[in-house]
């Protein structure tokens, strides 16, 4: 919840989701903005195995749709409070996020059209 309050997003995928779609899903989120968390979730259904969450909003998908994901991120994300971002919980992080533009995510999904 903390990253959502700061203006980031969370990408969720069902553990039984198609592996290739999950890889593409992860890549688009990683290449759209710096402030994100991606994790599996049993709370999703196999019928809608992918979800993108922003503060107060969600997008559930039955299949990988890059345009919908990109448009959701661009329309729902507010500027990140980068001063606090560096203090985010980081226990058990598998892979650290890379900067896409800046810590403030000044431009969302810059390389995805």
Q: Say if CB 73 and CB 9 are below 8 A apart.
A: yes
Task: Examine the pLDDT at 3 and tell me if it is beyond 60.
Answer: yes
pLDDT of residue 92: 57
**Domain range summary for the chain, segments of one domain joined by +:** 2-85
CATH code for residues 2-85? 3.40.30
Instruction: Please give the model's pTM, rounded to 2 decimal places.
Output: 0.78
Q: pLDDT per residue over 68-88, tens digit each?
A: 999 998 886 665 554 444 555
Q: pLDDT per residue over 38-69, tens digit each?
A: 999 999 999 999 999 988 899 999 999 999 99
């Amino acid at each position: 919840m903390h990253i959502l309050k700061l203006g980031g997003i969370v990408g969720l995928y069902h553990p039984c989701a198609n592996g290739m779609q999950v890889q593409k899903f992860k890549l688009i989120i990683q290449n759209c903005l710096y402030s994100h968390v991606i994790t599996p979730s049993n709370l999703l259904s196999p019928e809608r195995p992918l979800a993108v969450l922003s503060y107060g909003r969600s997008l559930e998908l039955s299949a990988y749709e890059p345009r919908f994901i990109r448009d959701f991120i661009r329309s729902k994300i507010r500027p990140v409070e980068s001063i606090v971002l560096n203090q985010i919980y980081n226990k058990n992080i598998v892979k650290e996020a890379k900067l896409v533009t800046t810590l403030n995510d000044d431009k969302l999904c810059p390389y995805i059209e």
